[in-house]
Every structure is written in structure tokens, then in C-alpha cells.
Amino acid sequence: RKEVEQDPGPFNVPEGATVAFNCTYSNSASQSFFWYRQDCRKEPKLLMSVYSSGNEDGRFTAQLNRASQYISLLIRDSKLSDSATYLCVVKGHAGKSTFGDGTTLTVKP
């Protein structure tokens, strides 16, 4: 079993749709959680950190469920520019980050 698992997708949604990605992790001692966005042939860029209390940044909402060991990312009112691969990242005690394989989103007009 992978340490960090994501539904690879692809998710194909129309503009304006709401889409949710889930990610599960196996190490219950994991400390920090993040969502990254990676555009084709570009480096990953930090989208948002994920806190236990949940956090929101505009159209993006991230939530963490430690008991069930999963993280979610909700995108509301999807834009064409949201098309990308979204990477779930989990960091443990030793400071090592483990990346999921990513979920590909395509937003269509």
C-alpha cells in the first residue's frame, strides 16, 4: 500500500462545477499536510497547507480528518485555469515529505 494515495482521475468537469479530491495517508504519526498544484511541464507549486480546523482560500477549501487519515480539497466554481494535477503531500516527524501520485483535473468550457 502506498503511503499517500490519491484517486488519479482524470476529473473532467464543466466550468462552474464543484469538484472534490480526496487523499488518504497510512502513517498516523504524520504531522503536516499540503495540497500542491502542478501544471504540465512545470514544477509543483504550493496551493495550501491543510490544518486540523480546515482552511479556506477563496474558492478552495481544504480539510483534514486525522481519525480517518484523509485530506480533502474542494474547488468551487471551477475555472478553466484550474486545470492541472493536484498533489497531496504528507510530512512526517523526520521532515520527509511524501507525495501522492496526483489527481488530474480538466475544466472544460
Partner 1 sequence: SAVISQKPSRDICQRGTSLTIQCQVDSQVTMMFWYRQQPGQSLTLIATANQGSEATYESGFVIDKFPISRPNLTFSTLTVSNMSPEDSSIYLCSVGTLAGGRSYEQYFGPGTRLTVT
The residues binding partner 1 (CB under 8 A) are 32, 34, 42-46, 49, 51, 87, 89, 91, 95-97, 99-102
Query: Cis before residue 10, ω within 30 degrees of 0?
Result: yes
**Interatomic CA distance for residues 53 and 109, integer angstroms:** 34
Closest distance to partner 1 from the beta carbon of 64 (Å): 12
Nearest distance from C-beta of residue 102 to partner 1, angstroms: 6
Please report how close the Cβ of residue 107 comes to partner 1 at its closest, in angstroms. 20
How far apart, in whole angstroms, are the C-alpha atoms of residue 65 and residue 63? 7
Q: 4 with 47: CB under 8 angstroms?
A: no
Q: Which is nearer to partner 1, 14 or 53 (CB)?
A: 53
- Looking at the Cβ atoms of 72 and 98, the one nearer to partner 1 is 98
Q: Which is nearer to partner 1, 3 or 17 (CB)?
A: 3
Residue 99 CB, nearest approach to partner 1 (Å): 5
Region of 3 (left: φ > 0; alpha: ψ -120 to 50; beta: rest) is alpha
- Judged by beta carbon, residue 5 or residue 17, the one nearer partner 1 is 5
* 3-class DSSP assignment, residue 82: helix
